[in-house]
């Protein structure tokens, strides 16, 4: 799944939550234009969507398989960008 598609899935259900809507719209627009989005923003989107209980609506609209792909796509990108902490 493309990152812009994953962001769009959250975007479609985030209208009741203005801050989530704003950040997700901005991230989607950047990704759709081929520009990178920082892992901190992607991580915030995932956490905030969970906190605002957006996931049940996303899962109902797109199905469990697409929901899982969305989370995996965003999670992989977050992991790819996040700095490695060595102890």
Q: Work out the pLDDT band at 83, boundaries 50, 70, 90.
A: confident
The average pLDDT across 35-64 equals: 96
The per-residue pLDDT for range 4-37, each reduced to its tens digit, is 999 999 999 999 999 999 999 999 999 999 999 9
Check the CA dihedral 33-11-75-51 and report its sign: positive
């Amino acid at each position: 799944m493309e990152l812009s598609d994953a962001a769009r899935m959250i975007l479609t259900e985030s209208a009741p939550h203005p801050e989530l809507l704003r950040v997700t719209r901005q991230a989607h627009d950047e990704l759709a234009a081929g520009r990178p989005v920082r892992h901190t923003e992607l991580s915030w989107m995932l956490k905030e969507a969970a906190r605002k209980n957006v996931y049940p609506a996303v899962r109902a609209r797109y199905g469990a398989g697409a929901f899982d792909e969305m989370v995996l796509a965003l999670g992989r990108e977050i992991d790819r960008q996040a700095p490695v902490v060595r102890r």
